Amino acid sequence: MSNPTAAILIIGNEILSGRTQDVNVQFIAQRLARRGIRLEEVRVVPDIPQRIIGAVNELRAAYTMLFTTGGIGPTHDDITSACIAAAFGVPWELHGETARLMREAWGERVNAARLRMATMPRGAVPIKNAASIAPGFSLGNVHVMAGVPRIMQAMFEALEPGLPEGEAIEMRAVHGVGVFEGSIAAGLTEIQNRFPTIDLGSYPYKRGEVWGVSLVAKGTDVAALEAAIVEATDLIKSRGIEAVQGEPQSGGA
Amino acid sequence: MSNPTAAILIIGNEILSGRTQDVNVQFIAQRLARRGIRLEEVRVVPDIPQRIIGAVNELRAAYTMLFTTGGIGPTHDDITSACIAAAFGVPWELHGETARLMREAWGERVNAARLRMATMPRGAVPIKNAASIAPGFSLGNVHVMAGVPRIMQAMFEALEPGLPEGEAIEMRAVHGVGVFEGSIAAGLTEIQNRFPTIDLGSYPYKRGEVWGVSLVAKGTDVAALEAAIVEATDLIKSRGIEAVQGEPQSGGA
Protein backbone atom coordinates (compact mmCIF):
# COMPACT_ATOMS: atom_id res chain seq x y z
CA MET A 1 0.00 0.00 0.00
CA SER A 2 1.31 3.42 -0.87
CA ASN A 3 -0.92 5.35 1.54
CA PRO A 4 0.98 7.78 3.76
CA THR A 5 1.06 6.74 7.43
CA ALA A 6 0.66 8.65 10.67
CA ALA A 7 0.94 8.39 14.43
CA ILE A 8 -0.51 10.52 17.22
CA LEU A 9 1.41 11.27 20.40
CA ILE A 10 -0.70 12.59 23.25
CA ILE A 11 1.24 14.45 25.90
CA GLY A 12 -1.23 13.49 28.47
CA ASN A 13 -0.90 13.46 32.25
CA GLU A 14 -4.57 14.31 32.40
CA ILE A 15 -5.49 11.36 30.17
CA LEU A 16 -3.30 8.94 32.15
CA SER A 17 -4.85 10.10 35.44
CA GLY A 18 -8.35 9.49 34.08
CA ARG A 19 -9.35 13.11 34.68
CA THR A 20 -10.00 13.80 31.01
CA GLN A 21 -11.59 11.73 28.26
CA ASP A 22 -9.54 12.09 25.09
CA VAL A 23 -11.62 13.03 22.07
CA ASN A 24 -8.83 14.20 19.79
CA VAL A 25 -7.86 10.76 18.48
CA GLN A 26 -11.25 10.10 16.93
CA PHE A 27 -11.35 13.51 15.24
CA ILE A 28 -7.87 13.16 13.77
CA ALA A 29 -8.43 9.50 12.83
CA GLN A 30 -11.56 10.27 10.85
CA ARG A 31 -10.00 13.19 9.04
CA LEU A 32 -6.86 11.23 8.17
CA ALA A 33 -8.88 8.29 6.82
CA ARG A 34 -10.83 10.63 4.57
CA ARG A 35 -7.54 11.93 3.19
CA GLY A 36 -6.16 8.45 2.63
CA ILE A 37 -3.60 8.63 5.46
CA ARG A 38 -3.36 5.47 7.57
CA LEU A 39 -3.25 6.14 11.31
CA GLU A 40 -1.04 3.29 12.53
CA GLU A 41 -0.29 4.11 16.15
CA VAL A 42 -1.39 6.25 19.07
CA ARG A 43 0.65 6.73 22.22
CA VAL A 44 -0.12 8.55 25.43
CA VAL A 45 2.89 9.46 27.57
CA PRO A 46 3.26 11.52 30.74
CA ASP A 47 4.62 15.07 30.88
CA ILE A 48 8.20 13.87 31.41
CA PRO A 49 10.86 15.21 29.01
CA GLN A 50 12.73 11.98 28.29
CA ARG A 51 9.45 10.15 27.65
CA ILE A 52 8.26 12.80 25.20
CA ILE A 53 11.62 13.11 23.44
CA GLY A 54 11.98 9.34 23.10
CA ALA A 55 8.48 8.87 21.71
CA VAL A 56 8.82 11.78 19.26
CA ASN A 57 12.02 10.39 17.82
CA GLU A 58 10.68 6.85 17.58
CA LEU A 59 7.39 7.81 15.98
CA ARG A 60 8.66 10.45 13.55
CA ALA A 61 11.12 7.89 12.19
CA ALA A 62 8.51 5.13 11.88
CA TYR A 63 5.69 6.96 10.09
CA THR A 64 5.22 9.49 7.30
CA MET A 65 4.02 12.05 9.83
CA LEU A 66 3.47 12.53 13.55
CA PHE A 67 0.83 14.66 15.23
CA THR A 68 1.22 15.65 18.87
CA THR A 69 -1.51 17.07 21.10
CA GLY A 70 -1.16 18.86 24.39
CA GLY A 71 1.44 20.72 26.40
CA ILE A 72 1.92 23.90 24.35
CA GLY A 73 0.32 26.46 26.65
CA PRO A 74 2.00 29.12 28.81
CA THR A 75 2.33 27.26 32.14
CA HIS A 76 5.21 25.37 33.76
CA ASP A 77 3.73 21.99 32.77
CA ASP A 78 3.69 22.91 29.06
CA ILE A 79 6.94 21.30 27.96
CA THR A 80 6.11 19.82 24.57
CA SER A 81 7.66 22.59 22.48
CA ALA A 82 11.01 22.51 24.32
CA CYS A 83 10.99 18.69 24.07
CA ILE A 84 10.49 18.82 20.31
CA ALA A 85 13.53 21.10 20.06
CA ALA A 86 15.52 18.61 22.15
CA ALA A 87 14.29 15.69 20.02
CA PHE A 88 15.53 17.43 16.86
CA GLY A 89 18.70 18.74 18.52
CA VAL A 90 17.96 22.37 17.65
CA PRO A 91 17.73 25.51 19.83
CA TRP A 92 14.41 26.52 21.40
CA GLU A 93 14.10 30.22 20.72
CA LEU A 94 11.69 33.10 20.36
CA HIS A 95 9.89 33.14 17.01
CA GLY A 96 9.92 36.82 16.13
CA GLU A 97 6.87 37.01 13.88
CA THR A 98 4.73 35.07 16.37
CA ALA A 99 5.82 37.33 19.24
CA ARG A 100 4.93 40.35 17.11
CA LEU A 101 1.48 38.98 16.28
CA MET A 102 0.85 38.28 19.96
CA ARG A 103 1.83 41.81 20.90
CA GLU A 104 -0.49 43.19 18.23
CA ALA A 105 -3.38 41.11 19.52
CA TRP A 106 -2.74 41.15 23.25
CA GLY A 107 -0.76 44.32 23.88
CA GLU A 108 0.44 44.66 27.45
CA ARG A 109 -0.94 41.29 28.42
CA VAL A 110 2.02 39.68 26.65
CA ASN A 111 4.13 38.57 29.60
CA ALA A 112 6.98 36.08 29.97
CA ALA A 113 4.57 33.16 30.32
CA ARG A 114 2.69 34.04 27.15
CA LEU A 115 5.96 34.47 25.26
CA ARG A 116 6.60 30.77 25.96
CA MET A 117 3.86 30.20 23.38
CA ALA A 118 5.93 32.18 20.84
CA THR A 119 9.04 30.14 21.64
CA MET A 120 9.67 27.30 19.19
CA PRO A 121 12.35 24.97 17.92
CA ARG A 122 14.53 26.71 15.34
CA GLY A 123 13.11 26.02 11.88
CA ALA A 124 9.53 25.52 13.08
CA VAL A 125 6.71 26.81 10.90
CA PRO A 126 3.78 28.21 12.93
CA ILE A 127 0.34 26.65 12.46
CA LYS A 128 -1.76 29.80 12.38
CA ASN A 129 -5.36 29.02 13.11
CA ALA A 130 -8.79 30.50 13.62
CA ALA A 131 -9.11 29.57 17.30
CA SER A 132 -6.05 31.07 18.94
CA ILE A 133 -3.37 33.70 18.41
CA ALA A 134 -0.88 31.26 19.94
CA PRO A 135 -0.05 28.89 17.10
CA GLY A 136 0.94 25.26 16.92
CA PHE A 137 3.93 24.50 14.71
CA SER A 138 5.33 22.01 12.24
CA LEU A 139 8.94 20.91 12.24
CA GLY A 140 9.88 18.40 9.58
CA ASN A 141 7.19 15.72 9.63
CA VAL A 142 6.05 16.55 13.18
CA HIS A 143 2.91 18.65 13.68
CA VAL A 144 2.55 20.06 17.19
CA MET A 145 -0.99 20.97 18.21
CA ALA A 146 -2.88 22.09 21.31
CA GLY A 147 -4.74 19.62 23.53
CA VAL A 148 -7.95 21.63 23.92
CA PRO A 149 -10.19 20.01 21.30
CA ARG A 150 -11.51 23.19 19.70
CA ILE A 151 -8.05 24.64 19.26
CA MET A 152 -6.61 21.31 18.10
CA GLN A 153 -9.34 21.06 15.48
CA ALA A 154 -8.66 24.57 14.20
CA MET A 155 -4.95 23.75 13.97
CA PHE A 156 -5.63 20.48 12.16
CA GLU A 157 -7.85 22.28 9.68
CA ALA A 158 -5.10 24.79 9.03
CA LEU A 159 -2.67 21.94 8.36
CA GLU A 160 -4.98 19.77 6.33
CA PRO A 161 -4.57 21.26 2.85
CA GLY A 162 -0.81 20.76 3.07
CA LEU A 163 -0.87 17.11 4.14
CA PRO A 164 -0.01 14.40 1.62
CA GLU A 165 -2.90 12.42 0.20
CA GLY A 166 -3.48 8.75 -0.48
CA GLU A 167 -6.41 6.86 -1.88
CA ALA A 168 -9.31 7.52 0.50
CA ILE A 169 -9.82 4.69 2.98
CA GLU A 170 -13.53 3.95 2.76
CA MET A 171 -15.76 2.10 5.21
CA ARG A 172 -18.96 0.22 4.63
CA ALA A 173 -20.87 -1.46 7.41
CA VAL A 174 -23.83 -3.66 8.19
CA HIS A 175 -25.29 -4.27 11.63
CA GLY A 176 -27.11 -7.31 12.92
CA VAL A 177 -29.16 -6.62 16.02
CA GLY A 178 -29.49 -9.80 18.04
CA VAL A 179 -26.84 -11.73 16.15
CA PHE A 180 -23.91 -13.27 18.03
CA GLU A 181 -20.41 -13.21 16.56
CA GLY A 182 -19.90 -16.88 17.31
CA SER A 183 -22.73 -17.89 15.00
CA ILE A 184 -21.36 -16.06 11.95
CA ALA A 185 -17.61 -16.33 12.55
CA ALA A 186 -16.98 -19.18 10.11
CA GLY A 187 -18.89 -17.41 7.34
CA LEU A 188 -17.04 -14.17 8.01
CA THR A 189 -13.70 -15.89 7.67
CA GLU A 190 -14.77 -17.09 4.24
CA ILE A 191 -15.82 -13.59 3.18
CA GLN A 192 -12.53 -12.13 4.40
CA ASN A 193 -10.67 -14.80 2.42
CA ARG A 194 -12.64 -14.00 -0.74
CA PHE A 195 -11.83 -10.27 -0.44
CA PRO A 196 -8.16 -10.15 0.57
CA THR A 197 -7.74 -6.45 -0.33
CA ILE A 198 -10.16 -5.29 2.37
CA ASP A 199 -10.10 -5.42 6.16
CA LEU A 200 -13.26 -7.04 7.45
CA GLY A 201 -13.79 -6.37 11.16
CA SER A 202 -16.46 -7.75 13.47
CA TYR A 203 -17.39 -5.55 16.44
CA PRO A 204 -19.93 -6.70 19.00
CA TYR A 205 -21.86 -4.08 20.92
CA LYS A 206 -24.62 -3.94 23.48
CA ARG A 207 -27.39 -1.36 23.27
CA GLY A 208 -29.67 -1.45 26.28
CA GLU A 209 -29.98 -5.18 26.92
CA VAL A 210 -29.63 -6.23 23.30
CA TRP A 211 -26.41 -7.50 21.79
CA GLY A 212 -25.55 -6.90 18.19
CA VAL A 213 -22.60 -7.04 15.83
CA SER A 214 -21.30 -4.42 13.42
CA LEU A 215 -19.47 -5.85 10.44
CA VAL A 216 -17.18 -3.19 9.02
CA ALA A 217 -15.29 -3.42 5.73
CA LYS A 218 -12.43 -0.97 5.21
CA GLY A 219 -10.18 -0.35 2.27
CA THR A 220 -9.59 1.67 -0.86
CA ASP A 221 -11.42 -0.63 -3.31
CA VAL A 222 -15.03 0.52 -3.04
CA ALA A 223 -16.40 -2.19 -5.34
CA ALA A 224 -14.83 -4.89 -3.16
CA LEU A 225 -16.12 -3.21 0.01
CA GLU A 226 -19.64 -3.13 -1.30
CA ALA A 227 -19.55 -6.70 -2.55
CA ALA A 228 -18.21 -7.90 0.80
CA ILE A 229 -20.95 -6.07 2.66
CA VAL A 230 -23.60 -7.66 0.42
CA GLU A 231 -22.21 -11.05 1.42
CA ALA A 232 -22.03 -10.08 5.09
CA THR A 233 -25.64 -8.92 4.92
CA ASP A 234 -26.69 -12.27 3.45
CA LEU A 235 -24.75 -14.03 6.20
CA ILE A 236 -26.63 -12.17 8.92
CA LYS A 237 -29.97 -12.80 7.19
CA SER A 238 -29.15 -16.50 6.93
CA ARG A 239 -29.38 -16.56 10.74
CA GLY A 240 -32.92 -15.20 10.56
CA ILE A 241 -31.76 -11.76 11.72
CA GLU A 242 -32.54 -8.37 10.23
CA ALA A 243 -29.45 -6.68 8.77
CA VAL A 244 -29.20 -2.89 8.74
CA GLN A 245 -26.72 -1.33 6.36
CA GLY A 246 -25.50 2.18 6.93
CA GLU A 247 -23.17 4.39 8.83
CA PRO A 248 -20.81 2.52 11.12
CA GLN A 249 -22.09 2.75 14.69
CA SER A 250 -19.90 3.38 17.65
CA GLY A 251 -19.72 0.48 20.00
CA GLY A 252 -16.42 -0.93 21.18
CA ALA A 253 -14.70 -4.12 20.19
CA MET B 1 8.18 6.46 44.19
CA SER B 2 7.30 2.92 45.02
CA ASN B 3 3.89 2.93 43.37
CA PRO B 4 3.36 0.03 40.96
CA THR B 5 3.17 1.09 37.32
CA ALA B 6 0.95 0.06 34.42
CA ALA B 7 0.43 0.41 30.70
CA ILE B 8 -2.62 -0.18 28.51
CA LEU B 9 -2.35 -1.68 25.02
CA ILE B 10 -5.44 -1.24 22.86
CA ILE B 11 -5.68 -3.68 19.99
CA GLY B 12 -7.61 -1.23 18.01
CA ASN B 13 -8.24 -1.11 14.28
CA GLU B 14 -11.61 0.42 15.08
CA ILE B 15 -10.01 3.15 17.21
CA LEU B 16 -7.37 3.94 14.58
CA SER B 17 -10.03 4.19 11.86
CA GLY B 18 -12.02 6.66 13.96
CA ARG B 19 -15.07 4.41 13.91
CA THR B 20 -15.13 3.97 17.67
CA GLN B 21 -14.46 6.36 20.54
CA ASP B 22 -12.35 4.59 23.16
CA VAL B 23 -13.79 4.83 26.65
CA ASN B 24 -11.80 2.04 28.29
CA VAL B 25 -8.69 4.10 29.04
CA GLN B 26 -10.52 6.53 31.29
CA PHE B 27 -12.24 3.73 33.23
CA ILE B 28 -9.01 1.81 33.80
CA ALA B 29 -7.03 5.00 34.54
CA GLN B 30 -9.42 6.10 37.27
CA ARG B 31 -9.54 2.67 38.89
CA LEU B 32 -5.76 2.31 38.83
CA ALA B 33 -5.24 5.75 40.37
CA ARG B 34 -7.59 4.86 43.22
CA ARG B 35 -5.50 1.75 43.87
CA GLY B 36 -2.23 3.66 43.81
CA ILE B 37 -1.06 2.23 40.48
CA ARG B 38 0.51 4.78 38.12
CA LEU B 39 -0.70 4.47 34.53
CA GLU B 40 2.41 5.52 32.60
CA GLU B 41 1.63 4.70 28.98
CA VAL B 42 -1.19 3.89 26.58
CA ARG B 43 -0.66 2.54 23.08
CA VAL B 44 -3.10 1.81 20.31
CA VAL B 45 -1.83 -0.55 17.60
CA PRO B 46 -3.54 -2.15 14.61
CA ASP B 47 -4.64 -5.79 14.43
CA ILE B 48 -1.32 -6.93 12.95
CA PRO B 49 0.49 -9.78 14.75
CA GLN B 50 4.01 -8.37 14.75
CA ARG B 51 2.74 -5.00 16.01
CA ILE B 52 0.84 -6.61 18.87
CA ILE B 53 3.65 -9.00 19.80
CA GLY B 54 6.26 -6.25 19.75
CA ALA B 55 4.19 -3.88 21.88
CA VAL B 56 3.29 -6.61 24.41
CA ASN B 57 6.93 -7.53 24.94
CA GLU B 58 8.08 -3.92 25.20
CA LEU B 59 5.36 -2.85 27.62
CA ARG B 60 5.33 -5.91 29.88
CA ALA B 61 9.07 -5.45 30.40
CA ALA B 62 8.79 -1.72 31.10
CA TYR B 63 5.95 -1.63 33.66
CA THR B 64 4.74 -3.59 36.65
CA MET B 65 1.70 -4.71 34.71
CA LEU B 66 0.11 -4.47 31.27
CA PHE B 67 -3.60 -4.46 30.44
CA THR B 68 -4.74 -5.19 26.91
CA THR B 69 -8.21 -4.52 25.52
CA GLY B 70 -9.81 -5.91 22.39
CA GLY B 71 -9.40 -8.76 19.97
CA ILE B 72 -10.44 -11.76 22.09
CA GLY B 73 -13.74 -12.67 20.45
CA PRO B 74 -14.55 -15.61 18.15
CA THR B 75 -13.98 -14.05 14.72
CA HIS B 76 -11.04 -14.13 12.32
CA ASP B 77 -9.92 -10.65 13.35
CA ASP B 78 -9.60 -11.64 17.03
CA ILE B 79 -5.90 -12.39 17.19
CA THR B 80 -4.85 -10.98 20.56
CA SER B 81 -4.81 -14.29 22.43
CA ALA B 82 -2.63 -16.07 19.86
CA CYS B 83 -0.31 -13.05 19.78
CA ILE B 84 0.13 -13.14 23.56
CA ALA B 85 1.15 -16.80 23.26
CA ALA B 86 3.66 -15.85 20.57
CA ALA B 87 4.97 -12.95 22.68
CA PHE B 88 5.63 -15.33 25.59
CA GLY B 89 6.86 -18.13 23.33
CA VAL B 90 4.35 -20.66 24.66
CA PRO B 91 1.78 -22.85 22.84
CA TRP B 92 -1.74 -21.54 22.19
CA GLU B 93 -4.03 -24.37 23.22
CA LEU B 94 -7.51 -25.26 24.37
CA HIS B 95 -8.10 -24.49 28.05
CA GLY B 96 -10.07 -27.53 29.21
CA GLU B 97 -11.99 -26.01 32.10
CA THR B 98 -13.06 -22.99 30.04
CA ALA B 99 -14.25 -25.22 27.19
CA ARG B 100 -16.24 -27.30 29.70
CA LEU B 101 -17.88 -24.19 31.21
CA MET B 102 -18.80 -22.96 27.74
CA ARG B 103 -20.40 -26.29 26.88
CA GLU B 104 -22.37 -26.23 30.14
CA ALA B 105 -23.64 -22.72 29.41
CA TRP B 106 -24.06 -22.82 25.64
CA GLY B 107 -24.61 -26.52 24.81
CA GLU B 108 -24.70 -27.21 21.11
CA ARG B 109 -23.99 -23.61 20.22
CA VAL B 110 -20.34 -24.21 21.09
CA ASN B 111 -18.77 -24.34 17.64
CA ALA B 112 -15.20 -24.05 16.41
CA ALA B 113 -15.36 -20.24 16.40
CA ARG B 114 -16.57 -20.07 19.99
CA LEU B 115 -13.87 -22.52 21.08
CA ARG B 116 -11.33 -19.89 19.96
CA MET B 117 -12.48 -18.02 23.07
CA ALA B 118 -11.47 -21.03 25.18
CA THR B 119 -8.06 -21.19 23.52
CA MET B 120 -5.32 -19.51 25.49
CA PRO B 121 -1.56 -19.35 25.92
CA ARG B 122 -0.30 -22.26 28.04
CA GLY B 123 -0.18 -21.13 31.68
CA ALA B 124 -2.90 -18.50 31.32
CA VAL B 125 -5.31 -18.01 34.22
CA PRO B 126 -8.87 -17.20 33.04
CA ILE B 127 -10.47 -13.95 34.21
CA LYS B 128 -13.95 -15.21 35.03
CA ASN B 129 -16.41 -12.39 35.11
CA ALA B 130 -20.02 -11.46 35.57
CA ALA B 131 -20.60 -10.25 31.99
CA SER B 132 -19.52 -13.15 29.80
CA ILE B 133 -18.92 -16.90 29.88
CA ALA B 134 -15.93 -16.32 27.60
CA PRO B 135 -13.21 -15.14 29.98
CA GLY B 136 -10.22 -12.86 29.64
CA PHE B 137 -6.97 -14.21 30.99
CA SER B 138 -3.82 -13.26 32.86
CA LEU B 139 -0.40 -14.53 31.90
CA GLY B 140 2.44 -13.31 34.08
CA ASN B 141 1.97 -9.55 34.44
CA VAL B 142 -0.24 -9.26 31.33
CA HIS B 143 -4.01 -9.03 31.76
CA VAL B 144 -5.95 -9.63 28.57
CA MET B 145 -9.46 -8.17 28.49
CA ALA B 146 -12.29 -7.68 26.03
CA GLY B 147 -12.80 -4.44 24.13
CA VAL B 148 -16.55 -4.07 24.69
CA PRO B 149 -16.68 -1.65 27.61
CA ARG B 150 -19.20 -3.54 29.73
CA ILE B 151 -17.29 -6.80 29.46
CA MET B 152 -13.95 -5.10 29.96
CA GLN B 153 -15.26 -3.48 33.12
CA ALA B 154 -16.51 -6.79 34.50
CA MET B 155 -13.14 -8.37 33.77
CA PHE B 156 -11.29 -5.49 35.42
CA GLU B 157 -13.47 -5.80 38.49
CA ALA B 158 -12.70 -9.51 38.66
CA LEU B 159 -8.98 -8.74 38.50
CA GLU B 160 -8.97 -5.77 40.82
CA PRO B 161 -8.71 -7.48 44.23
CA GLY B 162 -5.60 -9.33 43.08
CA LEU B 163 -3.73 -6.29 41.77
CA PRO B 164 -0.86 -4.82 43.79
CA GLU B 165 -1.53 -1.64 45.70
CA GLY B 166 0.37 1.57 46.24
CA GLU B 167 -0.44 4.73 48.09
CA ALA B 168 -3.60 6.14 46.53
CA ILE B 169 -2.89 8.91 44.02
CA GLU B 170 -5.24 11.69 45.05
CA MET B 171 -6.43 14.69 43.07
CA ARG B 172 -7.62 18.05 44.24
CA ALA B 173 -8.75 20.77 41.87
CA VAL B 174 -9.88 24.35 41.64
CA HIS B 175 -11.47 25.99 38.61
CA GLY B 176 -11.33 29.60 37.56
CA VAL B 177 -14.06 30.54 35.09
CA GLY B 178 -12.91 33.43 32.97
CA VAL B 179 -9.25 33.24 33.99
CA PHE B 180 -6.55 32.84 31.35
CA GLU B 181 -3.55 30.60 31.94
CA GLY B 182 -1.12 33.26 30.80
CA SER B 183 -2.14 35.60 33.63
CA ILE B 184 -1.46 33.06 36.40
CA ALA B 185 1.42 31.09 34.91
CA ALA B 186 4.19 32.78 36.91
CA GLY B 187 2.32 32.29 40.19
CA LEU B 188 1.63 28.65 39.35
CA THR B 189 5.31 28.00 38.76
CA GLU B 190 6.03 29.34 42.24
CA ILE B 191 3.39 27.09 43.78
CA GLN B 192 4.75 24.04 41.94
CA ASN B 193 8.23 24.91 43.20
CA ARG B 194 7.01 25.20 46.80
CA PHE B 195 5.31 21.77 46.61
CA PRO B 196 7.80 19.56 44.78
CA THR B 197 6.13 16.28 45.85
CA ILE B 198 2.94 17.03 43.91
CA ASP B 199 2.17 17.40 40.22
CA LEU B 200 0.41 20.68 39.57
CA GLY B 201 -1.30 20.75 36.19
CA SER B 202 -3.05 23.63 34.44
CA TYR B 203 -5.78 22.69 31.97
CA PRO B 204 -7.65 25.32 29.99
CA TYR B 205 -11.15 24.52 28.81
CA LYS B 206 -13.96 26.27 27.00
CA ARG B 207 -17.57 25.86 28.04
CA GLY B 208 -19.98 27.55 25.70
CA GLU B 209 -18.14 30.75 24.85
CA VAL B 210 -16.38 31.08 28.19
CA TRP B 211 -12.79 30.05 28.79
CA GLY B 212 -11.63 28.75 32.11
CA VAL B 213 -8.72 26.92 33.68
CA SER B 214 -8.73 23.86 35.91
CA LEU B 215 -5.77 23.67 38.25
CA VAL B 216 -5.26 20.07 39.30
CA ALA B 217 -2.90 18.86 42.01
CA LYS B 218 -2.06 15.15 42.05
CA GLY B 219 0.02 13.08 44.41
CA THR B 220 -0.01 10.88 47.46
CA ASP B 221 0.54 13.61 50.09
CA VAL B 222 -2.97 14.88 50.76
CA ALA B 223 -1.86 17.68 53.09
CA ALA B 224 0.44 19.06 50.40
CA LEU B 225 -2.30 18.73 47.76
CA GLU B 226 -4.75 20.67 49.86
CA ALA B 227 -2.24 23.37 50.78
CA ALA B 228 -1.29 23.80 47.12
CA ILE B 229 -4.93 24.12 46.11
CA VAL B 230 -5.47 26.79 48.76
CA GLU B 231 -2.61 28.75 47.22
CA ALA B 232 -3.92 28.16 43.70
CA THR B 233 -7.35 29.38 44.81
CA ASP B 234 -5.80 32.56 46.20
CA LEU B 235 -3.91 33.03 42.95
CA ILE B 236 -7.12 32.88 40.91
CA LYS B 237 -8.89 35.24 43.32
CA SER B 238 -5.97 37.68 43.08
CA ARG B 239 -7.03 38.16 39.44
CA GLY B 240 -10.52 39.19 40.57
CA ILE B 241 -11.97 35.84 39.43
CA GLU B 242 -14.23 33.48 41.32
CA ALA B 243 -12.53 30.18 42.16
CA VAL B 244 -14.60 27.00 42.43
CA GLN B 245 -13.06 24.07 44.28
CA GLY B 246 -14.35 20.59 43.71
CA GLU B 247 -14.32 17.57 41.48
CA PRO B 248 -11.95 17.83 38.57
CA GLN B 249 -13.94 18.67 35.46
CA SER B 250 -13.30 17.12 32.12
CA GLY B 251 -11.99 19.53 29.57
CA GLY B 252 -8.91 18.75 27.54
CA ALA B 253 -5.43 20.12 27.87
What interface predicted TM-score (ipTM) does this complex get? 0.94
Q: What is the pLDDT of residue A250?
A: 45
| Mean pLDDT across A58-80 | 97
Q: What is the pLDDT of residue B207?
A: 79
Count the Cβ atoms, other than its own, within 10 Å of residue B239: 14
Strand partners of residue B136: B127
| Mean pLDDT across B137-152 | 97
Residues in chain A: 253
Residue B250 pLDDT level (bands cut at 50, 70, 90): very low
Q: What is the pLDDT of residue A240?
A: 87
Q: Tell me: the pLDDT tens digits for B72-122?
A: 999 999 999 999 999 999 999 999 999 999 999 999 999 999 999 999 999
| Mean pLDDT across B29-47 | 97
Q: Helix B149-159 and helix B24-35: axis angle, to 10°?
A: 20
**Mapping DSSP to helix (H, G, I), strand (E, B) and coil, where does residue A11 land?**
strand
| Mean pLDDT across A153-177 | 95
Which part of chain A is CATH 3.40.980.10?
5-162
Q: What is the pLDDT of residue B107?
A: 95
Q: Tell me: the pLDDT tens digits for A71-124?
A: 999 999 999 999 999 999 999 999 999 999 999 999 999 999 999 999 999 999
Q: What is the pLDDT of residue B252?
A: 40
Which part of chain A is CATH 3.30.70.260?
170-245
Count the Cβ atoms, other than its own, within 10 Å of residue B186: 15
Please indicate whether, in this complex, the C-beta atoms of B218 and A17 are within 8 angstroms of each other.
yes
Q: What is the pLDDT of residue A106?
A: 94
Q: What is the pLDDT of residue A138?
A: 98
**Residue A125 above 70 pLDDT?**
yes
**Interface test mutation site (partner A, options B76, B180, B195, max chain A beta carbons within 10 A):** B76
Q: What is the pLDDT of residue A2?
A: 76
Q: What is the pLDDT of residue B151?
A: 95
Q: What is the pLDDT of residue A227?
A: 97
Q: What is the pLDDT of residue B208?
A: 79
Residues 79-108 of A with CB under 8 A from B: none
pTM metric for this prediction = 0.94
Please indicate whether, in this complex, the C-beta atoms of B15 and A33 are within 8 angstroms of each other.
no
Higher pLDDT, B26 or A252: B26
Residues 199-238 of B with CB under 8 A from A: 199-206, 216, 218
**Residue A149 above 80 pLDDT?**
yes
Of the candidate CATH numbers 3.90.1300.10, 3.90.1150.10, 3.40.220.10, 3.40.980.10, the domain formed by A5-162 belongs to 3.40.980.10
Single-letter code of the amino acid located at B129:
N
Residue A18 pLDDT level (bands cut at 50, 70, 90): very high
Q: Tell me: the pLDDT tens digits for B153-174?
A: 999 999 999 999 999 889 999 9
Using a CB-CB distance cutoff of 8 angstroms, which residues of chain A are in contact with residue B39? 16-18
Over chain B, what is the mean pLDDT?
A: 94
Q: What is the pLDDT of residue A247?
A: 59
What's the CATH code, domain B170-245? 3.30.70.260
Count the Cβ atoms, other than its own, within 10 Å of residue A116: 22
Question: Is any Cβ of chain A less than 8 angstroms from the Cβ of B131?
Answer: no
**Total CB pairs under 8 A between chain A and B:** 248
Check residue B62 and report its DSSP letter.
Answer: H
Q: What is the pLDDT of residue A40?
A: 98
| Mean pLDDT across A180-192 | 95
Residues 27-56 of A with CB under 8 A from B: 27-33, 38-47
Please indicate whether, in this complex, the C-beta atoms of A20 and B206 are within 8 angstroms of each other.
no
Check residue A14 and report its DSSP letter.
Answer: H
Buried (b) or exposed (e) across A2-38, using 16+ Cβ within 10 A?
Answer: ebbbbbbbbbbbbbbbbbbbbebbbbbbebbbebbbb
C-alpha dist (Å) from residue A104 to A97, A109, A114: 11, 10, 13
Please indicate whether, in this complex, the C-beta atoms of A113 and B181 are within 8 angstroms of each other.
yes
Question: Is any Cβ of chain B less than 8 angstroms from the Cβ of A253?
Answer: yes
Proportion of chain B above pLDDT 90, given as a percent: 87
Question: Is any Cβ of chain A less than 8 angstroms from the Cβ of B26?
Answer: yes
Please indicate whether, in this complex, the C-beta atoms of A202 and B73 are within 8 angstroms of each other.
yes
Of A22, A11, A54, A62, which is closest to residue A38 (Cα–Cα)? A62
Proportion of chain A above pLDDT 70, given as a percent: 97
Q: Which residue of B has its CA nearest to A15?
A: B26
Q: CA B98, B103, B109 angle in degrees (round to 5)?
A: 125
